[in-house]
């Protein structure tokens, strides 16, 4: 009895998450790229994380980037087809695919070096960073994040460059048109 109730709760939660994404995609304006504008990390956390864990951990553990394409352990080259048939709306498949591709090829430095103070990169971006005219600014200070990183924890210029690339990518995944 316990397992069937638990499975029923999981199904309701998954259905609720899927319906939320469907409703939001209908309510949000559609850009030229047909993207819904939904925060990709939020979407993953609400639709996929229950079974697959955090997106970057999943990408690094179960996906492999070869010649700019993702290969899944179980689905080979047809990862996009799998996602289309696995609760992801067709207008979001390419965006999530690109997010996973980037994560599979990015070292987990934010998690290793920053998460003790700043949580996950997506949470940090949502809470502390705004994207204004293509520039990352501190939410409270309104100062460029890049200038702040140049003085933060004795980061070297190549470290600042790495974290700026990562934070810019995450910001564009979180703050989508």
C-alpha span between 29 and 116 (Å, rounded): 36
pTM of the model: 0.78
Closest CA to 25 of 102, 127, 83, 93: 93
At residue 75, the pLDDT reads: 66
- Domain final position from 104, 123, 147: 104
Residues 10 and 90 in one domain: yes
Residues 62 and 14 in one domain: yes
3-class state of residue 144 by DSSP: strand
Question: CA 35, 126, 147: angle at the middle one, nearest 5?
Answer: 110
Residues 90 and 117 in one domain: no
pLDDT tens per residue across span 139-157 = 999 999 999 999 999 999 9
Most confident of 17-31, 67-81, 87-101, 113-127: 113-127
- Domain final position from 83, 104, 125: 104
Q: What are phi and psi of 65, to 5 degrees?
A: -95, 120
Contact of 163 with 154, CB cutoff 8 Å: no
Residue 118 has pLDDT above 90, yes or no: yes
CA dihedral for 40, 42, 43, 48, sign (positive or negative): positive
- Domain final position from 82, 104, 126: 104
Residues 81 and 114 in one domain: no
> What percentage of the chain has pLDDT greater than the value 90?
62
Residues 118 and 88 in one domain: no
C-alpha span between 127 and 168 (Å, rounded): 15
Residues 125 and 48 in one domain: no
User: Confidence class of residue 85 from pLDDT cuts 50, 70 and 90?
Assistant: confident
Write out the residue range of the structural domain in which residue 54 sits: 2-104
Residues 119 and 92 in one domain: no
Residues 7 and 82 in one domain: yes
Residues 11 and 81 in one domain: yes
C-alpha span between 120 and 112 (Å, rounded): 10
Residues 76 and 95 in one domain: yes
User: Confidence class of residue 76 from pLDDT cuts 50, 70 and 90?
Assistant: low
Residue 20 has pLDDT above 50, yes or no: no
User: Confidence class of residue 177 from pLDDT cuts 50, 70 and 90?
Assistant: confident
Residues 62 and 125 in one domain: no
Residues 149 and 114 in one domain: yes
User: Confidence class of residue 89 from pLDDT cuts 50, 70 and 90?
Assistant: confident
* Domain total of the chain: 2
At residue 105, the pLDDT reads: 93
């Amino acid at each position: 009895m316990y397992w069937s109730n638990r499975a029923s709760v999981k199904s309701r939660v998954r259905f609720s998450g899927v319906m939320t994404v469907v409703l939001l995609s209908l309510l949000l304006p559609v850009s030229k790229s047909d993207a819904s504008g939904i925060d990709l990390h939020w979407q993953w956390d609400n639709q996929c994380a229950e079974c697959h864990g955090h997106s970057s951990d999943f990408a690094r553990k179960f996906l492999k980037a070869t010649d700019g394409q993702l290969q899944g352990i179980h689905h080979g080259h047809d990862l996009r087809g799998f996602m289309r048939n696995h609760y992801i709306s067709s207008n979001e498949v390419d965006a999530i695919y690109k997010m996973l591709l980037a994560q599979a090829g990015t070292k987990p430095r934010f998690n290793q070096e920053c998460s003790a103070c700043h949580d996950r990169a997506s949470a940090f971006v949502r809470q502390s960073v705004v994207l204004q005219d293509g520039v990352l600014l501190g939410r409270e200070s309104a100062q460029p994040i890049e200038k702040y990183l140049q003085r933060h924890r004795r980061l070297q210029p190549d470290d600042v460059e790495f974290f700026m690339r990562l934070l810019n990518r995450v910001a564009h995944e979180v703050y989508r048109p």
